[in-house]
Amino acid sequence: MTKHISETLNNKKDALSPEDQVLLTECETIIVDGQKAFIRTCVAIVTIDKCDLFRPHKSLHAYCAFRFDFSDTETGRYRNAGIVLLNLSGLSAEAMLAGKKSAEGHYNILPANEGQSREMAKLKDAELQNKVWGEVIALSKKMDGKITAKLIKEVIEAITGDGGSDDGDGESTSPSPDKPCSAKLSIRFEEDENFDLAQPLKDAAEYFGVKCMKRKNNLTLVLDADSKVKLLHKLADWAAKYDVTRIVVDFS
């Protein structure tokens, strides 16, 4: 790298210098390459499993333990993540390993790390995986554009009514359908000495008959929605439109 790391750590200025920016770009490139390697690793594990390439070992788990020192849990998570990636991309394992883009009608944005894939792997149904992933992408675009394991988990809970269970190998419980819900919201706004940022949302909510309680830059209200998914979309819209720093949702 072009600059010693200790030099950067000792530079406490908020703005990055040109040298810092070069170093950051190099680090980000390495991380992105690592994310791509993760995807290829997962798909490769699936390929070995489906084609029985682990022979003469008795199982995929036995082979991965011998060859890569993977625990059974690690092997299971790589395999299940690979299945999710194939389901969302609409590609064959061979096509993904060759670096081809997702098939038409499927997602070009895919889970990028183990945390995201692990949440998605709790859903065993490919159609449900695609439904959840579509909602995750839509919500992320309304907010800061970032996809996180936490967001995925919230969408799964909203759509299925159950976050799923993970026994270490990605097994999940059966989902239940989304349905009307009620939620208590605690919304925190940015502090502004010259303007009450919570008031516009309070006025808008009360215009539609929703009672609110406001204390300084915090707003508390109870909201009904046709489904948890629709409520999450509404909250994402609010976060984008108003100066919201945090929303805590308590479903009842």
Same domain, 157 and 193: no
CATH number for position 239: 3.30.70.920
Kindly list the distances between the CA atom of residue 252 and the CA atoms of 101, 173, 187, 224, 238, in Å, as whole numbers in the listed order.
42, 21, 17, 10, 21
Query: What is the band of 172 on the pLDDT scale with cuts at 50, 70, 90?
Result: very low
Q: What is the mean pLDDT of residues 148-161?
A: 88
Q: How many domains does the chain have?
A: 2
Query: What is the band of 176 on the pLDDT scale with cuts at 50, 70, 90?
Result: very low
pLDDT for the residue 251:
64
Cβ atoms of 82 and 50 within 8 Å: the answer is no
Stretch among 19-33, 58-72, 141-155 having the lowest mean pLDDT: 141-155
3-state secondary structure of 246: strand
Cβ atoms of 178 and 160 within 8 Å: the answer is yes
pLDDT for the residue 5:
45
CA count, 13 A, side-chain hemisphere, 181 = 21
Query: What is the band of 234 on the pLDDT scale with cuts at 50, 70, 90?
Result: confident
Structural domain boundaries, residue 200: 181-251
Q: Distance between CA atoms of 225 and 179, rounded to whole angstroms? A: 9
pLDDT, tens digit (0-9, with 9 covering 90-100), for 85-113: 999 999 999 988 888 888 777 888 899 88
CA count, 13 A, side-chain hemisphere, 153 = 11
pLDDT, tens digit (0-9, with 9 covering 90-100), for 182-196: 777 787 777 766 677
Amino acid at 189: F
pLDDT for the residue 170:
47
Domain boundary among 151, 177, 203: 177
Same domain, 158 and 192: no
pLDDT for the residue 160:
82
Same domain, 42 and 163: yes
Stretch among 71-80, 81-90, 120-129, 139-148 having the lowest mean pLDDT: 139-148
Cβ atoms of 46 and 79 within 8 Å: the answer is yes
Neighbours of 231 (CB within 10 A): 21
Closest CA to 214 of 245, 249, 251, 187: 187
Same domain, 47 and 110: yes
* The total number of residues written for the chain in this structure: 252
Q: Which residue has the higher pLDDT, 170 or 205?
A: 205
Same domain, 241 and 144: no
1 pLDDT above the threshold of 70: no
Query: What is the band of 178 on the pLDDT scale with cuts at 50, 70, 90?
Result: low
Q: What is the CA radius of gyration of the chain?
A: 22
Q: What is the mean pLDDT of residues 58-76?
A: 93
Same domain, 84 and 206: no
Q: Distance between CA atoms of 9 and 137, rounded to whole angstroms? A: 34
